[in-house]
A and B are shown apart, each in its own frame.
Chain A
Amino acid sequence: NAGVTQTPKFQVLKTGQSMTLQCAQDMNHNSMYWYRQDPGMGLRLIYYSASEGTTDKGEVPNGYNVSRLNKREFSLRLESAAPSQTSVYFCASSEGDGHNEKLFFGSGTQLSVL
C-alpha cells in the first residue's frame, strides 16, 4: 500500500541546474498537489491539478513548471534552480476535485541549491 511516492528523497543542485521531481499515487485520486515547506513554516502551494490534463497555479508558482502526465503522476520541474528554492517539497493527492478533501502526502524531497 504505497500511497504517494516521491523521488528522489534528497537532491543537491548548483545554481542554474535543472531537475524534475517525480510524484506518483496509487489511490486512483483525481487531484494532485505540489507544496514546499521552509524551516519553521507551514506548507505553501506551488501548483495543483484537479484532474488529468489540468493544472493551476498556487501561492508560489514562480520558477516552477508542472506536468500531469496521467492520473497517477504529477511532476514538478525547476528549469534554472536558485538558492531561494532550497526547501522540502511535498507532493499530495486527494480523492475528488479537492473541495473539502483531506490530503494524502508523500514523504518529501529535500532539495538544496548551492
Chain B
Amino acid sequence: EDQVTQSPEALRLQEGESSSLNCSYTVSGLRGLFWYRQDPGKGPEFLFTLYSAGEEKEKERLKATLTKKESFLHITAPKPEDSATYLCAVQAATNAGKSTFGDGTTLTVKP
C-alpha cells in the first residue's frame, strides 16, 4: 500500500526565516511526486512534479528536491503570502493514474 507522511504538521516562521518541509513516501515504483499548495477554502494548486532521485525544481522562494525515500520543499526567506497548507502526493507504477496524498503541512509566516 502506498504511503505518504508529511512533517511537521504545522510550521510557524518569521518572515525571512528559511526552513524545509518533509515528505516521506513508500511506494512500489515511484512514477512521480507532486507538491501542491492549498489556501483556506480553496482547492489545491499544483506547484511541482519530480520524477527521479536527484531532481530539483524551483519557483520563486520554493525549491523541491527528491531522494529515493523522501522529498523536501525548501522555503527561502518566506513572506506572509507563502502561508498555506502544502500537500505532497505520489503516483506509483502499480496504481497508475491515482495520486496518494499526505496530510499536509500548514505553514504560517508572521510579518
Contacts and interface: CB of A to CB of B under 8 A. Distances in A.
A100 B95 CA distance: 11
A99 B31 contact: yes
A50 B46 contact: no
Contact of B101 (A44, A98, A102, A107): A44
A97 interface: yes
Contacts of A99: 31, 91, 96-97
A42 B103 contact: yes
Interface residues of A, number: 26
A106 B43 contact: yes
Interface residues of B, number: 27
B45 A105 contact: yes
B104 interface: yes
Interface string A8-46: 000000000000000000000001000100001111110
Chief secondary structure at chain B's binding surface: strand
Contact of B31 (A100, A103, A104): A100
B97 A31 contact: yes
Nearest to A42: B101
A48 interface: yes
B97 A103 contact: no
Nearest to B2: A59
Given A42-B103, A42-B104, A97 B44 contact: no
Nearest to B44: A105
Contacts of B42: 107-108
Contact of B43 (A97, A98, A107): A107
A90 interface: yes
Contacts of A42: 4, 6, 87, 89, 101-104
Contacts of B103: 40-42
A97 B97 contact: yes
A31 B49 CA distance: 18
A35 B43 CA distance: 11
Nearest to B49: A102
Question: Of residues B32, B42, B98, which shows the largest number of chain A Cβ atoms within 10 Å of its Cβ?
Answer: B98
Interface of A: 4, 31, 35, 40-45, 48, 50, 58-59, 90, 92, 97-100, 102-108
